[in-house]
Amino acid sequence: MKCRYVYTDIGAGVATIQSKNSRDHKYWYIVESRRVNGKPRPVVLAYLGKANDLELIRK
Protein backbone atom coordinates (compact mmCIF):
# COMPACT_ATOMS: atom_id res chain seq x y z
CA MET A 1 0.00 0.00 0.00
CA LYS A 2 1.58 3.29 -1.08
CA CYS A 3 -0.94 5.66 0.50
CA ARG A 4 -4.55 5.72 1.59
CA TYR A 5 -6.80 8.74 2.03
CA VAL A 6 -8.18 9.38 5.49
CA TYR A 7 -10.21 12.25 6.86
CA THR A 8 -8.75 14.31 9.66
CA ASP A 9 -9.80 17.32 11.68
CA ILE A 10 -6.18 18.51 11.81
CA GLY A 11 -5.72 21.32 9.32
CA ALA A 12 -8.16 22.05 6.54
CA GLY A 13 -7.66 19.24 4.06
CA VAL A 14 -7.48 15.53 3.49
CA ALA A 15 -4.46 13.69 4.82
CA THR A 16 -2.78 10.60 3.41
CA ILE A 17 -0.91 7.77 5.06
CA GLN A 18 2.49 7.53 3.40
CA SER A 19 5.51 5.32 3.90
CA LYS A 20 9.19 6.22 3.73
CA ASN A 21 12.02 3.71 3.45
CA SER A 22 15.25 4.23 5.34
CA ARG A 23 17.95 1.75 6.34
CA ASP A 24 15.89 -1.28 5.29
CA HIS A 25 12.91 -0.20 7.42
CA LYS A 26 9.56 1.21 6.37
CA TYR A 27 8.23 4.13 8.41
CA TRP A 28 4.62 5.40 8.26
CA TYR A 29 3.42 9.00 8.53
CA ILE A 30 0.15 10.92 8.24
CA VAL A 31 0.91 13.65 5.70
CA GLU A 32 -1.10 16.60 4.39
CA SER A 33 -0.30 18.70 1.33
CA ARG A 34 0.03 22.42 2.09
CA ARG A 35 1.39 25.39 0.20
CA VAL A 36 4.75 26.62 1.49
CA ASN A 37 6.13 29.68 -0.30
CA GLY A 38 3.47 29.18 -2.99
CA LYS A 39 4.45 25.57 -3.74
CA PRO A 40 2.66 22.42 -2.59
CA ARG A 41 4.71 20.53 -0.02
CA PRO A 42 3.99 17.47 2.13
CA VAL A 43 3.67 18.39 5.81
CA VAL A 44 3.94 15.57 8.35
CA LEU A 45 1.03 15.68 10.81
CA ALA A 46 1.86 12.55 12.79
CA TYR A 47 4.47 9.81 12.92
CA LEU A 48 2.88 6.35 13.15
CA GLY A 49 6.01 4.24 13.56
CA LYS A 50 7.69 1.31 11.85
CA ALA A 51 5.66 -1.13 9.79
CA ASN A 52 6.68 -3.99 12.11
CA ASP A 53 5.39 -2.10 15.16
CA LEU A 54 2.08 -1.32 13.46
CA GLU A 55 1.54 -5.00 12.69
CA LEU A 56 1.89 -5.83 16.38
CA ILE A 57 -0.82 -3.30 17.27
CA ARG A 58 -3.21 -4.77 14.70
CA LYS A 59 -2.97 -8.31 16.12
Interval 20-46: pLDDT, tens = 888 888 888 999 888 889 998 888 888
Of 25, 29, 33, 20, nearest in space to 47 by CA: 29
Q: Is the pLDDT of residue 52 over 60?
A: yes
DSSP symbols for 19-50: EEEETTEEEEEEEEEEEETTEEEEEEEEEEEE
- Type of residue found at 20: K
What's the pTM value of the predicted model, to 2 decimals? Answer: 0.60
Beta bridge partners of 26: 21
The helix (run of H) or strand (run of E) holding residue 4 is strand 3-6
When comparing pLDDT for 26 and 59, which is higher? 26
> Tens digits of per-residue pLDDT, 1-26?
444 545 455 555 678 888 888 888 88
Q: Is 48 helix (H, G, I), strand (E, B) or coil?
A: strand
Report pLDDT for 56: 55
Q: Is 7 helix (H, G, I), strand (E, B) or coil?
A: coil
